[in-house]
Amino acid sequence: MKKFITVFSISLFLLFSINTVTAIAQPKTYSQGFYTMNDLGLNENTLYKVRNNEPYVEGLLIIVDSDKKIQQLIRIAPNSTENTLIPLKNDYKFIIYNNVRLNFS
């Protein structure tokens, strides 16, 4: 009986001490400015999606390569759905224009 109480107590202790934590990647939010791949924490050759979370402000995202050629230009409507970006390279720079909050995921 003493062994049962000990095992039961340890089992209850372990049951209540183990916390399940749900790990969900948080989208990265950025506002107006100039950014590099490292600033945004994005990886090369990965497809990303960008979304505008501002309810009333339209945004503009310009992706420029090292030769200063525009690779992609996206006009993002307020509360937009996700827009898919081109596969990115390490030398790309990002220009976010207007007072928007863009999420990269």
**Domain harbouring 36, CATH code:** 2.60.120
Structural domain harbouring 73: 28-104
Is 3 inside any structural domain?
no
Predicted confidence (pLDDT) per residue in 13-57, tens digit: 767 776 666 555 566 678 888 999 888 888 888 888 898 888 888
In a domain, 74, yes or no: yes
The domain tally of the chain equals 1
Q: Encoding tokens for residue 58?
A: 């339209």
Asked if residue 18 belongs to a domain, the reply is no
pTM of the model: 0.71
Q: What is the largest CA-CA distance in the chain?
A: 78
Q: Determine, yes or no, domain membership for 10.
A: no
DSSP assignment letter at 55: S
Q: Work out the burial of residue 59: count CB atoms within 10 Å of its CB; fewer than 13 is exposed, 13-18 middle, 19 or more buried.
A: buried
pLDDT of residue 67: 92
